[in-house]
Amino acid sequence: MDRLEQEIRDTSKGMTPIVKTITRFAIGIIVIFGAYIILYGHLTPGGGFAGGVILASSYVLLTLAFGKDMALSKMGNTAASILDNSGALAFVVIGLLGFTGGYFFYNFLPKGEQFQLFSAGFIPLLNIAIGVKVTASLFAIFMALSIFGRFIYQAAEGEERESEE
């Protein structure tokens, strides 16, 4: 019996084993769909915003089904804030790189052939940056709301506990 089986059998946290088993199968499909929506945003309906929210909702599903420890082990608070900041930073940096061709947000990469995955210059890169940013920030705000404040200042609470001991 591996670790995931034990998590599923454990009824003390999260929802019932039925929900956990379904979540186990569904979560991979949701993540793949979110990644598809982000990566093909310039060819089909979708884009960074929709895909990012789908990825964030997969984490929300994980939190609701398995409890907050499982979700935090997949993406911790530090990782979430780093991803959030790096997404926003990547957006600005790609915009600034446009100065190599002339002006802010100049599409400096080659356009490529239309209807291909690697085409449209820097638009897929911007989609990925927005998707990462939206995923991380919405996941972080959901965790902060569901744990209500203890998420960001775990370190401070740890110090307090040490001083109490």
Partner 1 sequence: MEIVLLFLLAFMIIGSIIAIETKNLLSSVISVGVVGFNLSIIFLMLGAPDIAITQVVVEILILVVLIRATITTDNTSIEGPRDTFPFVSSLIFFGLFLMFAFFAVQEIPKFGEPIMKVSKEYLRTGPEKTGAANVVTAILLDFRAYDTLGEATVLFTSIIGAFVILRRKGRKGKAEVDEEKFGILEDEDIKQNFEGF
Partner 2 sequence: MILYFLSMVLLVMGLYCLVAKKNIVKKIIGIVIIEYSVNLFLVLVGYRSGGIAPILVKGMQAEELVQKGVDPLPQALVLTSIVIGLGTMALMVALCLRMYEKFKTFDMSKINTLKG
Q: How many residues bind partner 2 (CB under 8 A)?
A: 14
Find the shortest distance in angstroms from Cβ 7 to partner 2: 28
152 lines the binding site for partner 1 (CB under 8 A): yes
**Of partner 2, partner 1, none, which one sits near residue 146, judging by CB under 5 to 8 A according to partner kind?**
partner 1
Structure tokens at 58: 């997969």
Sign (positive or negative) of CA dihedral 32, 34, 40, 43 = positive
Angle, vertex CA 141, rays to CA 20 and CA 129, nearest 5 = 95
Q: Is 135 exposed, middle or buried (0-12, 13-18, 19+ CB in 10 A)?
A: buried
Q: How far apart are CA 138 and CA 144, in angstroms?
A: 10
Do 132 and 52 touch, CB atoms closer than 8 A? yes
**Of partner 2, partner 1, none, which one sits near residue 8, judging by CB under 5 to 8 A according to partner kind?**
none
148 lines the binding site for partner 2 (CB under 8 A): yes
**Of partner 1, partner 2, none, which one sits near residue 153, judging by CB under 5 to 8 A according to partner kind?**
partner 1
56 lines the binding site for partner 1 (CB under 8 A): yes
| DSSP code, position 121 | T
**Considering only residues 56-85, where is the footprint of partner 2 by CB under 8 A?**
none
Q: How far apart are CA 102 and CA 41, in angstroms?
A: 26
107 lines the binding site for partner 1 (CB under 8 A): yes
| DSSP code, position 15 | S
Which residues contribute to the site for partner 1 (CB under 8 A)?
Answer: 37, 41-47, 49-50, 53-54, 56-57, 60, 64, 84, 88, 91-92, 95, 105, 107, 111-112, 114-115, 119-121, 123, 126-127, 130, 133-134, 137-138, 140-142, 144-146, 148-150, 152-153, 156-157
